[in-house]
Amino acid sequence: MTVRALCLAPGDDVAILLTAVAAGERVHLSGGDGHLMSRTEIPRNHKIALRDLPNGALVQRDGLIIGQSTEVIARGSHVHVHNLRSLRARPANEATK
Amino acid sequence: MIQATPIEESAIEFSGYANANGSVGVRTHLLILNLTGLTEMAARRASAVLPGSVLVSFPYGMGMVGDDLAASVRLLSGLARHPNAGAIVLVSADRTRLDQISAALADDGRPNQAFCLDAVGHDALALSHRIASAGARLMRVASASRRKPFASGSLCLGVECGLSDPTSGIAANRLIGAVTDRVLAAGGTVILGETLEWLGVEDELTVRAMKPEVAKAIKEAVTRREALALDNGVDLTGINPNRRNIEEGLSTIEEKASGAIAKSGTAPIEGVLAHGEAPSGPGLWLMDQPSYSPESLTGFAAAGAQLALFSTGSGNSYTSALMPTIKITANSETAQSLGTQIDFDCSALMSGADLNTAAAELMEHISSVASGMLTFGEILGEGAEVFSRFGEAL
């Protein structure tokens, strides 16, 4: 079965998986013939990193910044609350570096 | 029979009720509006013996002050005038409050009656009897109203999402946005609320503001809501997005918000309403209000919305008592597992179905519901109204 991920906007750092994947599966990206390998298990409708992201990177989804990475994220990894956090409603002393 | 509407034509027709006050209803309910917590059970007993009546009950008393008082009176007055009420009964333990809300119906023209507990010697059972007896007669009058055709420009829609998942923002909310654009093009009105879900996307909203004051009001509403979280030391992760949103794949408020505002389509924003405030004209309006769906929907109902479009990812059974609430999902598993909750399945959008075709289908469904087709929420009696409080009482 082909695993597909939706790329919502050009320049996005993440895509949305239309089916769950195990680590090491080939994921086809919508809107072209691009693909990548999943590095981790990722549930359906969750986000996969389209590129290597350093710690503290602003993460773009559907053309908008949805938060900041809290660790180094490798291409193909699951991007979620364990490695991404909101930039909003954060006390000044822990806001964006 | 309503014809399928070509995509280019925004004006669907529906059969609604021309109310004496000039508003257009899609239902002709007997509304029993209880104004004080003390009389709630008396009103509830009366409602129970009048199947089909809609009970909306304010559970608080007379000690409210300031903005909280203003909001409560605004909500109650707006609900008393709701276009889907064919007749109205007001119930109160307090004559001052009863007079205050009765004033909202002074020039209304629809049959209505007001009952105060002191008129029956503070006998709650006698009050129930009076309400039921009058209500039975009023309900009969309301049910005699006949529907007539209206264009979709007569619609005011509240757009809502609850227990969202990524399919909400990617598909269901975009579909609601496409329908919003169509209803607005026909001269109708749409209200988007849930201020917290403008966080991180306020620039997308401010660029659509009709006037600089509107952009300023949007910014201020977002700043105030964000400060509320900050001042109380609240980490939004786990609250909004909540646990279930997170399980389904939404990571941050910015991500959830970007999907949530898709419901507003692409039109310019006329203004920012207070919670429960009626728009002063047609167009797209934002409502500055709490983001919890039951409170949010009641704000739309008080503003005069006849219908709500409500997208969900995991499923959300809550509906408004006064506004038929159309539940929409783009999650195929939810559409399959919640067959008596989801009114409109748009999961085909996730596998590439055409948005314009789906929007035409949803417009037709809205026309059917506006003309009397029941939502699952109405069939199952899920509807309620919930009153927000904004401060301490005396």
- Residue B234, helix vs strand vs coil: coil
Record: contact B230-A89, CB cut-off 8 A: yes
Q: Which DSSP string do the residues of chain A spell out, in sequence order? A: --EEEE--STT-SEEEESS-B-TT-EEEESSSS-EEE-SS-B-TT-EEESS-B-TTPEEEETTEEEEEESS-B-TT-EESTTTEE-SSS--GGGS--
pLDDT at B239: 87
Q: Please determine, for residue A55, whether its predicted confidence score (pLDDT) is greater than 70.
A: yes
Token code pair at residue A13 = 């750092």
**Residue A50 identity (one-letter amino acid):** L
- Residue B16, helix vs strand vs coil: strand
Nearest to A84 among B170, B229, B251 (CB): B251
pLDDT in tens, B363-387: 999 999 999 999 999 999 999 999 9
- Closest CA–CA distance from residue A77 to any residue of chain B (Å): 14
| C-alpha span between B229 and B336 (Å, rounded) | 37
Closest by CA position to B263, among listed B164, B123, B382, B159: B159
Nearest chain A residue to B256 by CA: give it.
A66
| C-alpha span between B220 and B216 (Å, rounded) | 6
pLDDT at A64: 94
Record: contact A67-B255, CB cut-off 8 A: yes
% of residues, chain B, pLDDT over 90 = 93
Interface of A with B in 35-64 (CB under 8 A): 43-47, 61-62, 64
The more confident residue out of B3 and B364 is: B364
Nearest to B254 among A6, A8, A64 (CB): A64
Cis ω before B51 (30° cut-off from 0): no
pLDDT at B238: 82
Q: Please determine, for residue B79, whether its predicted confidence score (pLDDT) is greater than 50.
A: yes
Q: Which residues of B touch A (CB under 8 A)?
A: 165-167, 169-170, 199-201, 204, 226, 229-230, 234-237, 246, 248-249, 251-255, 258, 331, 350-351
pTM metric for this prediction: 0.95
pLDDT in tens, B33-64: 999 999 999 999 999 999 999 999 999 998 99
Task: Please provide residue B274's backbone torsions phi and psi, each rounded to the nearest 5 degrees.
Answer: -75, 165
Record: contact B200-A88, CB cut-off 8 A: yes
The structural domain count of chain A equals: 1
Nearest to A16 among B166, B204, B258 (CB): B166
Record: contact A66-B251, CB cut-off 8 A: yes
Record: contact A16-B252, CB cut-off 8 A: no
Nearest chain A residue to B168 by CA: give it.
A45
In this structure, the dihedral spanned by the alpha carbons of residues B279, B58, B30 and B364, taken in order and rounded to 10 degrees, is: 40
For chain B, which residues make up each domain, given as ranges? 29-143, 150-384
B166 CB neighbours in chain A (<8 A) are 16, 45-46
pLDDT in tens, B173-230: 999 999 999 999 999 999 999 999 999 999 999 999 999 999 999 999 999 999 999 9
How many beta carbons lie within 10 A of that of residue B48, not counting itself? Answer: 12
Q: Please determine, for residue B165, whether its predicted confidence score (pLDDT) is greater than 50.
A: yes
- Closest CA–CA distance from residue A27 to any residue of chain B (Å): 16
A90 CB neighbours in chain B (<8 A) are 230
CB of B268 within 8 A of CB of B207?
no
Q: How confident is the model at residue B286 (pLDDT cuts 50, 70, 90)?
A: very high
pLDDT at B237: 82
Beta sheet of A58-61, edge-to-edge order? A58-61, A64-69, A84-85
Record: contact B254-A66, CB cut-off 8 A: yes
**Residue B294 identity (one-letter amino acid):** P
Helix ranges (H only) for B273-383 are: 293-302, 332-337, 355-370, 376-380
CB of B133 within 8 A of CB of B42?
no
Record: contact A8-B170, CB cut-off 8 A: yes
Average pLDDT, chain B: 95
pLDDT at B262: 97
The structure tokens 């919305």 sit at B305
Record: contact A88-B236, CB cut-off 8 A: yes
Radius of gyration over alpha carbons of chain B, in Å? Answer: 21
| C-alpha span between B92 and B61 (Å, rounded) | 10
Domain B29-143, CATH: 3.40.1400.10
- Domain extent at residue A78: 3-94
The structure tokens 């939502």 sit at B375
pLDDT in tens, B131-155: 999 999 999 999 999 999 999 999 9
Nearest to A84 among B200, B235, B252 (CB): B252
Q: Please determine, for residue B106, whether its predicted confidence score (pLDDT) is greater than 80.
A: yes
Nearest chain B residue to A78 by CA: give it.
B249
| C-alpha span between B245 and B239 (Å, rounded) | 9
| C-alpha span between B264 and B148 (Å, rounded) | 29
CB of B269 within 8 A of CB of B209?
yes
Q: Which DSSP string do the residues of B331-363 spell out, in sequence order? A: -HHHHHH-TTT-SEE-GGGGGT--HHHHHHHHH
Token code pair at residue B111 = 């049959």
Nearest chain A residue to B246 by CA: give it.
A81
- Closest CA–CA distance from residue A85 to any residue of chain B (Å): 6
